[in-house]
Structure 1
Amino acid sequence: MTVPGGQSLPPGFGGLMNSPPSDPLLLGLSCVAALSLLYLLLVFRPRTKGGSTAPPVVTSSPVSKLPVIGTIVEFATSPVKLVQRCYEDYGPVFTVPVSPRQHLAEPMPMTNDFLHKRLTFLVGPEAQEPFFKAPDETLSQNEVYCFMKPVFGPGIVYDATKKNRQVQFQSMANGLRTARLKGYTAKIERETRMYLDTWSDEGELDLFHALSELTILTSSRCLHGDDVRENLFKEVSELYHDLDQGLTPLTVFFPNAPTAAHKKRNAARAKMVELFSKVIKNRRDNPDQQHSDGTDILSIFMDVKYKDGSAITDEQVTGLLIALLFAGQHTSCITSTWTSLFILNNPSIMKRIVEEQNAVFSGREDANVEYKMVNEEMPLLHNSMKEALRLCPPLILLIRQALKDVKVKAAGKNYVIPKGDMVLISPSVGMRIPEVFKEPNTFDPDRFGPGREEDKSSPYAYMGFGGGMHSCMGQNFAYVQVKTILSVLFREFELEMVASDVPEIDYAAMVVGPKGDCRVRYKRRTK
């Protein structure tokens, strides 16, 4: 998950008196004095750890002449622009203080501890290396992503004990291994063709919306099984929508704030647990009935046992399904949209994509999509998806908390990130460095092809699915899902963008997608 924005001064911090002074001048002087005191606390508070090897601290910003206050506003407005500016001004390692709450002894109620930390950024393959190589005991995710507990539920992923989390991750990995992906390919194609059959022979539609619907349909078929997809899909998708809408920038800092969105989120999760508990009970009570083909991930989660011998609860099964759906839904629908739009905006690439598809299915035009085809025989489509992820990664920031001092070497300098700092990398910035990727703002899927392979210049140059020990375990499923959908789409329809260029990136969203016109004109190809 990512943090697309920050927050300025928290409610109640340095609050005013209950009754405002009657003299406007006195009120003005009081405000000036309070702000001045806050300013002095922020600017002149020294680092308590790190010493001379600590990364440089960014206190100035073009947004405001007030040190620190300006960086807070800049971070809240556009984290990516701030990281890019500071990388150019300070180098590959730097620290940004984001909140005056760092001076409080205890966090305020209902807040995420993220709000009370300094943010230390690592930019570029060399600087990013310790981020991807350090174990959880050094750089931890748990303290960062605790705001997801109300969505996933207690005891799931980042709220689980280390041993239970390992079992949960292993069960997820079992559901996403190659043997199962081969079966999922057929399911994804089936759902895609059923969905495309509802389109008229020609028309106009919002591609982002269409691919979002198609992604959750295919995901439900693979994750939940046939019984849920056929009988409960509408209810599950509506509950998922409420869960999704309950994750806002405010959630990151105040995960339990009493907002309308959070109340709907909590109600949706409770209803989701109730719904899947009935599904699980029905499967267990009626093992001889054909609920699914047994390859769905729900079937795997139902049989999980922890190392202490205890069985997974129905609530935890539901939480794992929600976690997987969250992880995959945004990434796949956004990436399939960007991939399609970039291809359509480049006629020469579009022509080659169609030629590649025709070559794969030459002499077997009516053949089903097979795993081997999407995994081995569509290199241009694969590299186009990979390039779309490089230009428009859904997660603009990846975050850990330093539980120990962390040594970093970059650009000939040695740094020590003090224990307690939040450590961040930005795939959005790190994958557009011209020294690593030539003409980094240009869509060029051939940069990954033979003879170039720019992504292999460093183990941590490409971060489309993270990297190192915490690389995304669902990346192979995402590639199969997106490439299968697009293979069918490009073979069945001629497409062209309505707009003259690809839309801007919506950096204000929790998971960034396209901002603007995603409409396409389509026409069914004649056989």
Structure 2
Amino acid sequence: MSKVSEVATALRERVPPLTSIPLPRAVDRRLLGQRWPTRELATPPAGSGLKAIPGDDGAPLIGHSLDFMRFGVEWALRRYELYGPVSWMGAFGRRIVSLSGPDATQLALVNKDKAFSQQGWEFFIERFFQRGLMLLDFGEHHAHRRIMQSAFTRDRLAGYVAQMGPALREGIGAWAPDSRPRLYWSLKRLTLDVASRVFMDMPSGDDSARLNRAFVDSVRAGTAIVRYPVPGGRWAAGLNGRKVLERYFRENLPAKRRDDGADLFSALCHATTEDGERFSDADVVNHMIFLMMAAHDTTTITSTAAVYYLAKHPEWQERVREESLRLGDDPPDVTALGELSTLELVIKEALRLVAPVPSLARKTLHDTEVLGFHLPADTLVGVSPTINHFDPACWTDPLRFDPERFSEARREDRNHRYAWMPFGGGAHKCIGLHFGMYEVKALLHEMLRRFRWSVPANYEARWDYVSLPVPADGLPVLLTRR
């Protein structure tokens, strides 16, 4: 048995697959082990010396669309073991090439020959997050990123942190002690409230709840099996969510243009490069919709994962709590948050075990080569950190929660440049990664000061990968006031 297979088997024994219909283990094993006829994606050019990409269509009509949603990381590891780092599969009515493992993902994300375009996202989310920064390519992406960078300077980040501190303290302070909330939903409401205040200078209330629903509908629509606006379907809900978001930002944009406030919406309205380049009104609306989604969804997932692992490992919870208590009672600024080095180890390990964005979409603009395989033009590609984060060649005992692997004495993330890539990589590496780390630190810091939390010893979270990974049961925890 290979090392990858050992990791996949251990994972299956630890966590049952996610499904709304419980199935016996024997049935699950049969589904996971189902072998479909292997076919070649395309014949390589004569004399190229390249190999054809292997793969299979999966089940009729739906392909493998549901497999990752059901089996998650285990399915990805089994697929990697079966076909290696370059393969294709049928899913969502398309043939999608999967690039897995550090070497293959590095080739796609560094993208030296400019073969990989962000147009891959168009298939999944373009209708809902059109022309967000992540969907732009090459020169246009570089130009927009240069303008946006002025909204993420250290001074701007310090201002955002100053705003989020009181909002986090107020929100967490309202949680009932000695209760068993489904914490994912509590954190989602909290991070949206913070995003509303920091990004839009909007207090929580009916508008905030309405926008939250619109964001949720827009995100989930991207992986809809039925990709038509059928009434009551996820695709239709996503299109309606996009309309709600556009209307809100367009109505509020003129006021933001007039007044240069401390919120991100104002920052984007006034962002200017040294050459005087600025965003159009349409640019600001598109970027705000995308950034709101990216910021509050990924922060919620990361915070939830960190809370879960701190509940499973109370010795680490006490260790990071002691660190937080040493900061005193004032809401921490960026300098104080930077001192929470042990908490940062925990957050990095949570990001490794539960990558908030489990797949990065690309599309090939021209024929290219990946690790000796012929990858044709106009091919939809999925680049996934899932395998990288569990690769036994990079990580010691990869299923174990072990924050010390990121300590300076070990730095297992340096075993390969793309061993750890929760923020993506290359030119499209997340522009808000420092903001995200500050927010997760500030949130956990407030929780640690006020509460202890726990889960039953035999509890194992199951992650729903229908869109972005969320705990299927909402993560019920016992909150106890310190």
TM-score band by shorter chain is 0.7 to 0.9
Question: Counterpart in 1 of 2:4?
Answer: none
Aligned residue for 2:97, secondary structure, equals strand
- Amino acid in structure 2 at the alignment position of 1:373: A
1:495 shift after superposition: 1.9
Q: 1:395 aligns with which of 343, 347, 357?
A: 357
Q: Does 1:216 align with 2:192?
A: yes
- Amino acid in structure 1 at the alignment position of 2:334: Y
Q: 1:300 aligns with which of 267, 288, 305?
A: 267
Aligned residue pairs: how many? 445
Distance 1:163 1:256, change over 3 A: farther
- Distance in 2, matches of 1:69 and 1:267, equals 25
Distance 1:283 1:398, change over 3 A: closer
Q: 1:53 aligns with which of 50, 53, 61?
A: 50
- Amino acid in structure 2 at the alignment position of 1:96: W
Distance 1:79 1:517, change over 3 A: closer
Question: Counterpart in 2 of 1:437?
Answer: 395
Q: 2:128 aligns with which of 131, 144, 151?
A: 151
- Distance in 2, matches of 1:521 and 1:271, equals 36
Instruction: Map 1:56-71; keep pairs closer than 5 Å.
Output: 56-59=53-56
1:161 shift after superposition: 7.8
Question: RMSD of aligned C-alpha atoms?
Answer: 3.4
Q: Does 1:501 align with 2:474?
A: no
Aligned residue for 2:390, secondary structure, equals coil
Q: 1:86 aligns with which of 67, 76, 79?
A: 79
- Distance in 2, matches of 1:345 and 1:498, equals 8
Q: 1:416 aligns with which of 358, 374, 380?
A: 374
Aligned residue for 1:441, secondary structure, equals coil
1:264 shift after superposition: 4.3
Q: Does 1:512 align with 2:469?
A: yes
- Tell whether the 8 Å contact from 1:188 to 1:481 is kept in structure 2 after alignment: yes
Question: Counterpart in 2 of 1:96?
Answer: 88
- Amino acid in structure 2 at the alignment position of 1:84: L
- Tell whether the 8 Å contact from 1:163 to 1:307 is kept in structure 2 after alignment: no
- Tell whether the 8 Å contact from 2:147 to 2:271 is kept in structure 1 after alignment: yes
TM-score under structure 1 length normalisation: 0.75
1:45 shift after superposition: 7.8
Aligned residue for 2:108, secondary structure, equals helix
- Distance in 1, matches of 2:40 and 2:83, equals 20
- Distance in 2, matches of 1:240 and 1:268, equals 9
1:275-317 deviations in whole A, cap 9, x for unaligned?
Answer: 33332333456x5xxxxx7221111222357999997454442
Aligned residue for 2:453, secondary structure, equals strand
Q: 2:147 aligns with which of 171, 187, 197?
A: 171
Q: 1:234 aligns with which of 198, 206, 209?
A: 206
Instruction: Map 1:64-213; keep pairs closer than 5 Å.
Output: 74=67, 78=71, 80-93=73-86, 95-98=87-90, 115-116=93-94, 118-134=95-111, 137-153=114-130, 155-157=131-133, 164-213=140-189
5+ residue gaps, structure 1, are: 1-41, 100-113, 288-292
Seq. identity, %: 26
1:371 shift after superposition: 0.6
- Bigger Cα displacement from structure 2, 313-322 vs 381-390: 313-322
Q: Does 1:469 align with 2:427?
A: yes
Aligned residue for 1:248, secondary structure, equals helix
Aligned residue for 1:522, secondary structure, equals strand
Instruction: Map 1:304-343; keep pairs closer than 5 Å.
Output: 312-343=279-310
5+ residue gaps, structure 2, are: 1-36
1:189 shift after superposition: 1.3
Question: Counterpart in 1 of 2:216?
Answer: 244
- Tell whether the 8 Å contact from 2:451 to 2:481 is kept in structure 1 after alignment: yes
Instruction: Map 1:372-383; keep pairs closer than 5 Å.
Output: 372-375=335-338, 377-383=339-345
